[in-house]
């Protein structure tokens, strides 16, 4: 199988391959098989077909490339280096090493040219679908007959593993139903997984599956036949009214005489001798590792110039756009600079009557949406329950890409990844809703959102046993603790409708990671803010809602609906002469952002008598109640019964709070 075609194209493709296997070998860690097999795809895209500018990886109308099979990261790093991105050869040599720009899996914001963090299979695929939603929505706002500000493609490579993971089914179904065009994914059909051949576990007819989703499907029988590959890609580009999958026959570890088409080529270096044999088999006549032939450098040199020219052409178009559509151009520039103005803040509602915090959330969302034109989102088929529907706006659909209500269907996992794609695209403030219990479905996407520090908002309703009769399968117990455990995630569980307003206030303004709004199904009372602290104190994470006239005998703290419970308990304790401080604690993470002086003011170290109340597991509250304090919490799953019965049976009553408070005080004595 020694290659005999030593054209410049073939030499360039083999340079991608050899850079990848050299980097994996030097690191003694990584995945050489995919770069060897898929090098022709990235060469075709980055050199011939993609519209991209290595000098400005953030140009808005660039074509995107998503390596969903992120384990093949050296495939991407090699072509980024050759194309002229700010990724030096030394960085390739430092693959998988501390502080390098070439981590084991691609990481957004870490490596120029990497569009999203991939690794967990299926995530990149679904994220790309979110990017397409963002592109099409923004195109509906800004594109004019004579100005196409958004007209780029989204390309990607997915593997057998990507297509086995359930998230790919969810995302592909959504994309096909909504006819999201100008998406072209290459399926790396190498027929090998870690455990062996795919026929051990996998006999799907991928073509029929994707055609059933509503995708255009094309086949390439030999990825190394560059003309066949290019013809199929151009055919997909010409028929871009629907998403496209190109099933591409590849060979994992291509060129390796002893490891091609075996699982051994997947997750380990080829070995020093096998690297030499592979290079020889590919017709590679250079002894030096990480060698780039001069003619390949010259060949790729034009990529940068073409990219600059493409962006300059777009910039000139935008200048003409500004002259004719000044207000739209101003909006364009503001949203992509993250400046949404502050008019929306003037429309944040105040509440005076009791309601579920999910209902308050819906009212806030609808009040501010007209003043935030790129606030867009929906629910995983629970809009009426989550109160995520924007009443003044239409639905996003195959016929109306200007709709701001996204119907994700019963696809929580894809919804999470799609929100990531929308946030990555820029300009949008995406949100998605489901029940708190179903946060488990989308946790992998949420974790990546946190890792990338994206501006996503999740609306999680039905936040405790308070949802009642649906029973323990739907009653979240450990979810709050599990979500709080993820770095860069802000969990906010507001206590009343006005705290809910402030929760949205925080979420819209926050940058640096996802914000999760955790909301009740059952009604909660509005606190009298004339006699109590302002709801705007939520912006500090925890605050003294009501204090005693002198040093308190005990601090009662809670989040969400349980704040109302401790308020009632405090009144009775005060009537008995027991001085209490009530702390509303909607967000641990925001509280930890505050100064040490403020945190000591709310929770003085000398006051060790503390009681926390939350209808979830205890985990994490120990930090705030200390060794002398206690927590009224859930120590088991819930049950099926009306909410009031459940709160009583599980100890969330005024009487039990008083009892526990007295026990803590008496222990001190």
Cβ-contact 418, 171 below 8 angstroms: yes
β partners of residue 582: 546, 556
For residue 197, the Cα-to-chain-centroid distance in whole angstroms is 31
> How many residues can be counted in the chain?
669
Reduced to 3 states (helix: H, G, I; strand: E, B; else coil), residue 41 is helix
3-state secondary structure 536-598: HHHHHCCEEEECCCCCCCEEEEECCCHHHHHHHHHHHHHHCCCCEEEEECCCHHHHHCCCHHH
Helix-strand-coil split of the chain, %, nearest 5? 45, 15, 40
Distance (Å, whole) CA 476 – CA 586: 17
Cβ-contact 516, 490 below 8 angstroms: yes
Q: How many CA atoms lie within 13 A of 262 on its CB side?
A: 10
Cβ-contact 20, 256 below 8 angstroms: no
Reduced to 3 states (helix: H, G, I; strand: E, B; else coil), residue 339 is coil
Q: How open is the CA angle 249-250-254, to the nearest 5 degrees?
A: 155
DSSP state of 572: H
Reduced to 3 states (helix: H, G, I; strand: E, B; else coil), residue 457 is strand
Distance (Å, whole) CA 395 – CA 633: 40
| Residue 660 backbone phi and psi in degrees, to 5 | -65, -40
Cβ-contact 654, 568 below 8 angstroms: yes
Distance (Å, whole) CA 149 – CA 318: 7
Q: Which residues contact 375 (CB under 8 A, 6 or more apart)?
A: 365, 368, 369, 404, 428, 429, 431, 508
Helices (H), 410-551: 412-425, 439-452, 479-484, 497-509
Q: How many CB atoms lie within 10 A of CB 84?
A: 20
Strand 196-197 to 216-220 pairing: unpaired
Cβ-contact 185, 157 below 8 angstroms: yes
Cβ-contact 559, 571 below 8 angstroms: no
| Residue 218 backbone phi and psi in degrees, to 5 | -130, 160
Q: Residue 443, class by beta-carbon neighbours within 10 Å (0-12 exposed, 13-18 middle, 19+ buried)?
A: middle
Token digits of residue 172:
């592909």
First to last CA, the chain: 85
Catalytic site residue 412?
yes
Q: How many CB atoms lie within 10 A of CB 211?
A: 14
Token digits of residue 521:
């199904």
Helices (H), 28-151: 33-43, 73-83, 89-93, 123-142
Distance (Å, whole) CA 615 – CA 478: 10
Q: Which residues contact 604 (CB under 8 A, 6 or more apart)?
A: none
CA dist 223 → 62, 88, 562 (Å): 25, 28, 60
β partners of residue 491: 516
Distance (Å, whole) CA 464 – CA 12: 58
Q: Annotated catalytic residue: which of 412, 499, 502, 562?
A: 412
Q: Kindly provide the residue ranges of all beta strands, DSSP E only, lying in 358-428, ordered along the sequence.
A: 375-379, 405-407
Q: Would you name the residues annotated as active-site residues?
A: 412
């Amino acid at each position: 199988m020694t290659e005999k075609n030593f054209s410049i194209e073939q030499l360039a493709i083999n340079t991608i391959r050899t850079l990848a296997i050299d980097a994996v070998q030097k690191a003694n860690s990584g995945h050489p098989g995919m770069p060897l097999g898929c090098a022709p795809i990235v060469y075709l895209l980055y050199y011939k077909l993609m519209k991209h500018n290595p000098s400005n990886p953030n140009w808005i109308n660039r074509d995107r490339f998503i390596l969903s099979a992120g384990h093949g990261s050296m495939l991407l790093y090699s072509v980024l280096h050759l194309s002229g991105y700010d990724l030096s050869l030394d960085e390739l040599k430092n693959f998988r090493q501390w502080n390098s720009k070439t981590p084991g899996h691609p990481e957004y914001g870490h490596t120029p040219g990497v569009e999203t963090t991939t690794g967990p299979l299926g995530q990149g695929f679904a994220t790309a679908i979110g990017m397409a939603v963002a592109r099409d929505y923004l195109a509906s706002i800004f594109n004019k007959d004579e100005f196409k500000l958004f007209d780029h493609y989204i390309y990607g490579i997915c593997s057998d593993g990507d297509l086995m993971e359930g998230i790919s089914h969810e995302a592909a179904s959504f994309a096909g139903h909504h006819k999201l065009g100008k998406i072209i994914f290459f399926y790396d059909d190498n027929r090998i997984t870690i455990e062996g051949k795919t026929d051990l576990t996998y006999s799907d007819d991928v073509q029929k599956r994707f055609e059933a989703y509503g995708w255009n499907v094309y086949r390439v029988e030999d990825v190394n036949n560059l003309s066949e590959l290019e013809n199929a890609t151009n055919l997909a580009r010409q028929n871009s009214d629907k998403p496209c999958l190109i099933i591409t026959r590849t060979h994992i570890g291509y060129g390796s005489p002893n490891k091609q088409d075996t699982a051994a080529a997947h997750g380990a270096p080829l070995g020093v001798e096998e690297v030499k044999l592979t290079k020889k088999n590919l017709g590679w006549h250079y002894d030096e590792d990480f060698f780039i032939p001069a003619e390949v450098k010259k060949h790729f040199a034009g990529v940068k110039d073409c990219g600059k020219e493409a962006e300059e052409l777009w910039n000139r178009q935008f200048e003409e756009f500004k002259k004719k559509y000044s207000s739209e151009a101003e909006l364009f520039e503001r949203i992509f600079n993250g400046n949404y103005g502050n008019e929306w803040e003037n429309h944040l509602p105040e509440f005076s009557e009791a309601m579920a915090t999910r209902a308050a959330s819906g009212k806030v969302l609808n009040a501010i949406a007209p003043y935030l034109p790129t606030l867009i989102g929906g629910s995983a088929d629970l809009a009426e329950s989550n109160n995520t529907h924007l009443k003044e706006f239409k639905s996003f659909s195959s016929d109306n890409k200007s709709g701001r209500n996204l119907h994700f269907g019963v696809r929580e996992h894809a919804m999470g990844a799609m929100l990531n794609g929308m946030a990555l695209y820029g300009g949008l403030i995406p949100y998605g809703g489901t029940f708190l219990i179903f946060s488990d479905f989308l946790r992998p996407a949420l974790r990546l959102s946190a890792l990338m520090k994206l501006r996503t908002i999740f609306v999680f309703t039905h936040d405790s046993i308070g949802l009642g009769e649906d029973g323990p399968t739907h009653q979240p117990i450990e979810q709050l603790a599990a979500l709080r455990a993820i770095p860069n995630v802000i969990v906010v569980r507001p206590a009343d409708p006005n705290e809910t307003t402030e929760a949205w206030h925080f979420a819209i303004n926050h940058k640096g990671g996802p914000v999760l709004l955790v909301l009740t199904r059952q009604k909660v009372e509005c606190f009298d803010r004339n006699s109590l602290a302002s709801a705007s104190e939520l912006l500090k994470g925890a605050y003294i809602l009501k204090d005693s006239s002198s040093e308190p005998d005990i601090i009662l703290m809670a989040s969400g609906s349980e704040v109302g419970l401790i308020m009632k308990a405090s009144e009775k304790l005060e009537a008995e002469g027991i001085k209490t401080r009530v702390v509303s604690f909607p967000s641990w993470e925001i509280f930890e952002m505050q100064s040490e002086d403020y945190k000591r003011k709310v929770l003085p170290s000398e006051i060790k008598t503390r009681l926390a109340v939350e209808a979830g597991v205890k985990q994490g509250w120990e930090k705030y109640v200390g060794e002398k304090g206690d927590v009224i919490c859930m120590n088991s799953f819930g049950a099926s019964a009306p909410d009031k019965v459940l709160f009583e049976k599980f100890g969330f009553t005024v009487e039990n709070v008083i009892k526990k408070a007295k026990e803590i005080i008496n222990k001190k004595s």
